[in-house]
Structure 1
């Protein structure tokens, strides 16, 4: 229980500091820290990330930042594809799942490092005219074109598939996809992504429980501790230099990915 509390607080703190993508380390914390198999760790990690995301989404709704129509569309498609991810998660070898998860961690680390160097911001400035989803200047709302709807549906589907397969909330995919494909401001992107994560995680958790996954008491402790850690992280985030935070998170992802690969295939 003590270890579950420690890792829960640590993951919540990282989630609060880094935003929607920080929850990707919840599964490694349970697998490496508590020795759980990935199929057991994934639903507990989703509960922790989903609960934290729900708090952020409620705050975003209160401030009027959430693009709720876009979030609902993506969550519906994500919920539809989550069972497919769960299906493969329970049939693929554990070693393959670990390898896929490590690859995702490496990709997240690379994106964070590029973001710290400011590369994404430069790309966004030069590519704004090619955005798939644009805001209407007169209303401030998204223009619901066929292209925009298909784009959001595709991103939501991928998010749901990865949520079911690897037990990740999908923030590492949603935030950069929103930044690349829409002209929504960053605060709105994060708030909308948190709502999608909360809804898709809830659907994935229901599917996992119906499939017979049992949440042990240590899992409940981990979830509660992660929520408390997330609240502490959100308070501390404004006082931490963003570049140092992004580089630190990228380095941590690479270390965890390397350790996972060594533990799995050594």
Structure 2
């Protein structure tokens, strides 16, 4: 592979292109990454905050994703450096860290995500992300360049601190968690709320001023996305694997029921 997924992802972000991803909540197969690649997606998030993901399966999914050219990101359940180390040294090539409300929290997770001298990530016995033909020192150097650290903006406090969070060294992107942010704003489910669009615009502006990318997930309806894309959102969490499967299944059901209904009407 001439270009590793982290480099390819960053190139898309610098060019202002879309990077489409899915949250893997129920996927149990290492084929998840290649399947997403075949659909033109660019990243996958293995979710340890809201899914029953197991470390062993996440290991297999992440390495398979890298081989397919998909960037495997992990969402940890906390900011604990030990949890982050386990995810990153076992296949993940980046993080989507939930509930980062302050620059101090952002600094904690960025240091936990890189090897010395850029961070405090513990060095494993082997680091197989880039194949088995590289020595550990070389692999750790490549990892420090490839790893993508995205912090989630999910509260009123985070929006107030978004400029300071964006300025923390080692943060690569700001990602709005639309569902949690709306709950914190007292507007659950209101993806069309002006307050959310304002938060999106503030986050995108802070990202642009600090040379970062901006991303978002949450809305399933297409309407609000027009404003979010116009504001500068480029790392897009389209849907999770559950809702993508349900959307496809409902589309197929509607198609076949429609064909049968049309044939029945034609005979009447």
Larger relative helix fraction: 1
Greater strand fraction, Structure 1 or Structure 2: 2
- Which is higher, the Rg of structure 1 or of structure 2? 2
- Structure with more relative contact order (C-alpha pairs < 8 Å, separation 6 or more): 1
